[in-house]
Structure 1
Amino acid sequence: MQNVDAAGLGIGDDHPPRIMGVLNVSRESPYDPSVFDDTGEAAAYVDRELIAEGAEIVDVGLESANKRLDVLSAQEELDRLDRAVESIESVSGDAVFSIETRYAEVADEALSRGFEMVNDVCGFADPAMPEVCEAHDAAVVKMASPPNLERPGAVDDVDWAARRSPEWAREASYVDRLYEALVRNGFTEKTIVDPAFGGWSEEKTLRDDRETFRRLREFRAIDRPILVSINRKNFLRTLAERSTEEALPVSLAATAMAVERGAHVIRTHDVAQTRDAALIGREFGRERVRTPSVEELDVTTTREAARHLSTVGADEFAREGVTRLYRLADLGEDYGALSAAATEVPGVHLVGDEPAILLGTPGRLEELKRTMPPGSDLVSAINSKNHHVGQ
């Protein structure tokens, strides 16, 4: 996993999770506690509520990305930039200041006036954005998005049949489309990827966000640090039936899980609590071998394996890239048939008897199924579980 240096702040596997606090100078923002018109009040908020509480990055928004609001032009964003610059100039604490914008013109001006990082919610829809960030040696967050400056995050707007193929478009899941949107148009050396949690389009569902969260490890195959913005998001609130004001606990639970699954930056309005949850996720994450020349990949499913293997054109080996173990009890007469079948399939093992443990790769277990007597309840159960957890 490549690390990123954001104005001296290390981001990636070799560093602790970083907390990105939020300051909005946009009157339209839906989260009132982070919205300020007065630059002095804004600076005091950043010092007191963000930096002092553990934020190492402060993301400043010039406009709301709410899909129900009109998109500001680059000039309208530039008209608001003075207030943002004055606010960060009055901050006494130390942090990396990020400008949230979709326009390369705005990013260039902001980086020239004290900002050190860019949060691009349109994922390089402005083709000049990578060049601007590289010219300033600035880290940039690339959010999964169509090539459309007015439709951030709306990956379902893309004509994937034309961009990939009709067959790919028919079979692709929402996560597949997110992944493809991120890798399109490349990266800078200091790019951080964002899988775009939240209601970016009318077509997107809460199930889409939940599936993205379940499959978050797949984005590690991009080999760039991952940012997630999940604070009090609807896909979490509805699980616990909580309002936005009541949703901090579910956000913290998800934060720890996101970091355990590979997230490196957490964007949040609740800095102190989120920092603690992120540290727990980091501490109890999977231990993996990492040296300057060897990195053990964080792979738990065949889909995760396929993502990494596809980078070297070998995703057909994905079903041999993970191992599954099943505890089996009360086998009765099935034990003998299963034991005999297991000896015929290389890489499959049945050990013990009550309980027994069956282990093998998803591909080898599929072979085992074919050697067993037709109609076996045991084979059906193994096949069903293997298909589910192996993905």
Structure 2
Amino acid sequence: MTINCKGKLLDFTVPKVMGILNLTPDSFYDGGKYKNEKNILEQVDKITALGATFIDLGAQSTRPGANEVNTDEELNRLLPVLELVQRNFPETLISIDTFKAVVAKEALDRGAAMINDISAGLLDEAMLDVIAEYHVPYIMMHMRGNPKTMQQQTIYDDLLQEIIHYFSERLSVAYSKGIMDVIIDPGFGFSKTMEQNYKLLNHLDLFNVTDRPLLAGVSRKSMIYKLLGTDAHNALNGTTALNMLALQKGASILRVHDVGEAMECVKIYEQLKA
């Protein structure tokens, strides 16, 4: 399974790692941590040196209950950092975590490689047209509502069937616009209870029916630390355990805060396959 990203054909025979770089003051784990050029460049250097294929830049917190920031604020947070990273690490594949078409377009104009949209185009109907115009890979995630309301929308008749149907519909719309390089993210922690998150992970292999690369984003989330009676800062061990399970269930990309540990998971997983 492959996608075309900035002229590079990426093969997911060996899973990839996406390192998270949050530019928000209120993200659940590392909000406000990267405030100046030195800190940002050191973190990007670390992420790339450890072996991540992608860096995911986000300037709008999507944690449960997060307030939406206006477009100007999101751009003001994002674009200077994007330009900084592009100047210093021109070969890095940068993903932009946004659900706003205007933000996506501005970022793609400045060299971003792909768009990571928590709403699969449902929060901004112009998003898919932007993706089609720029011919970039697109990560579409499952969510109901928005970050402010999503945890009030966790009642399903059949969790797995409804999420698969959601992706079937969203992929159909994307394909109709000529968007073929799509990655799907089942949305751990978005519009789901703890029990639903674990059911979803345990049956992640069902999403191989979409014939698209799967992204698993469980890093330090509440499904881990609430179960273990701890907090996000002490959830690395649980994250590593779930990352390995996600790989065994067919994940092609691990989206993580801790790149080194995720790369070790991939290395061990590959040895188990040998």
Could you tell me the TM-score, scaled by structure 2's length? 0.87
Q: Corresponding residue for 1:268?
A: 256
Partner of 2:195: 207
Aligned-partner Cα distance in 2 for 1:66–1:33: 11
CA spacing shift, 1:155–1:28, aligned 2, 3 Å:
closer
**Distance across 2 between alignment mates of 1:189 and 1:174:** 26
| Structure 1 gaps, min length 5 | 161-168, 288-391
Give the Cα separation in 2 of the matches to 1:139 and 1:247.
30
Structure 1 segment 120-159 matched on structure 2, within 5 A: 120-125=117-122, 126-146=124-144, 148=145, 150-151=146-147, 154=150, 157=153
Report the residue type matching 2:195 in the other structure.
Answer: R
Flag the 1:43–1:281 CA change in 2: closer, same or farther, 3 A: same
* 1:36 CA drift (Å): 1.6
1:34–1:56 CA distance, 2 compared to 1 (3 A): farther
Inter-CA distance 136–275: structure 2 relative to 1 (3 Å threshold): same
CA contact (8 A) 1:44 1:91 kept: no
Aligned length: 267
AA aligned opposite 2:37: T
- Aligned residue for 1:212, secondary structure, equals helix
Find out whether 1:177 has 2:173 as its counterpart: no
Computing the radius of gyration from Cα coordinates, the structure with the larger value is 1
Contact 1:101–1:118, Cα closer than 8 Å, also in 2: yes
Whole-angstrom distance in 1 between the partners of 2:97 and 2:148? 12
Please say if residues 188 and 218 of structure 2, whose CA atoms lie closer than 8 Å, have aligned partners that are also in contact.
yes
Residue 66 of structure 1 is aligned with which of 42, 52, 63?
63
CA contact 1:29–1:35 (8 Å) conserved in 2: no
**Residue 255 of structure 2: SS of its match in structure 1?**
strand
Offset from partner CA, 1:120-174 (integer Å, 9 cap, x none):
011111222222112212111000124x5x348939749x9xxxxxxxx7xx322
- 1:257 deviates by 1.6
- Are 1:5 and 2:1 counterparts? no
SS in 1 for 2:199: helix
| Kept after mapping to 2: 8 A contact 1:123/1:142 | yes
The range that moved more, 16-25 or 72-81, is 72-81
Aligned to 1:86: 83
CA apart distance, 1:249: 1.8
CA deviations 1:76-117 (Å, max 9, x no partner) are 322323322233134337421011100111111100011111
Q: Is the 8 A contact 2:65 2:147 kept in 1?
A: no
Tell me, yes or no, if the aligned pair for 1:51 and 1:94 is still in contact at 8 Å: no
Give 1:7-26 correspondences, 5 Å limit: 7-11=6-10, 13=12, 15-26=13-24
Percent of matched pairs sharing the same residue: 26
Q: Deviations over 1:330-379 (max 9, x none)?
A: xxxxxxxxxxxxxxxxxxxxxxxxxxxxxxxxxxxxxxxxxxxxxxxxxx
Could you tell me whether the CA contact under 8 Å between 2:215 and 2:252 is conserved in 1? Answer: yes
CA distance in 2, matches of 1:233, 1:25: 18
AA of the residue aligned to 2:3: V
Shift of 1:28: 1.6
Which residue identity does 1:89 align to in structure 2? Q
Counterpart of 1:76 in 2: which secondary structure?
helix
Alpha-carbon distance between aligned partners in 2 of 1:153 and 1:216, rounded to the nearest angstrom:
25
In the alignment, what sits opposite 2:207? 219
Question: Offset of 1:62 from its aligned partner?
Answer: 0.7
Contact 2:58–2:78 (CA under 8 A) maintained in structure 1: no
CA-to-partner distance for each residue in 1:284-304, whole Å, 9 max, x for gaps? 24x8xxxxxxxxxxxxxxxxx
Q: Judge conservation of contact 2:66–2:148 (CA < 8 Å) in 1.
A: no
Scaled by the length of structure 1, the TM-score of the pair is 0.62
Measured on the aligned residues, the alpha-carbon RMSD in Å equals 2.6
Query: Partner of 1:191 in structure 2?
Result: 182
Higher relative contact order (CA 8 A, sep 6+): 2
Query: 1:260·1:282 contact (CA, 8 Å) conserved in 2?
Result: no
Contact kept? 2:62, 2:147, Cα under 8 Å = no
Aligned equivalent of 2:224, options 207, 219, 236: 236
Query: Is the 1:107–1:132 contact (alpha carbons within 8 Å) kept by the matching residues of 2?
Result: yes
Q: Does the C-alpha gap of structure 1 residues 93 and 50 become closer, same or farther in structure 2, counting only changes over 3 Å?
A: farther
User: Could you tell me which amino acid in structure 2 is paired with residue 174 of structure 1?
Assistant: L
C-alpha displacement at 1:239, in angstroms? 4.3
Output the CA distance in 2 between the equivalents of 1:192 and 1:218: 15
SS class of match (2:167): helix
Shift of 1:175: 2.1
- Aligned partners of 1:249, 1:96: CA distance in 2, in Å? 27
- In structure 2, how many angstroms separate the alpha carbons of the residues matched to 1:37 and 1:276? 28
Q: What residue in structure 1 maps to residue 93 of structure 2?
A: 96
Q: Check whether the contact 2:4–2:181 (CA below 8 A) recurs between aligned residues.
A: yes
Q: Which residue of 2 is the match for residue 258 of structure 1?
A: 246
Gaps of 5+ in 2: none
Q: Specify the alignment match of 1:384 in structure 2.
A: none
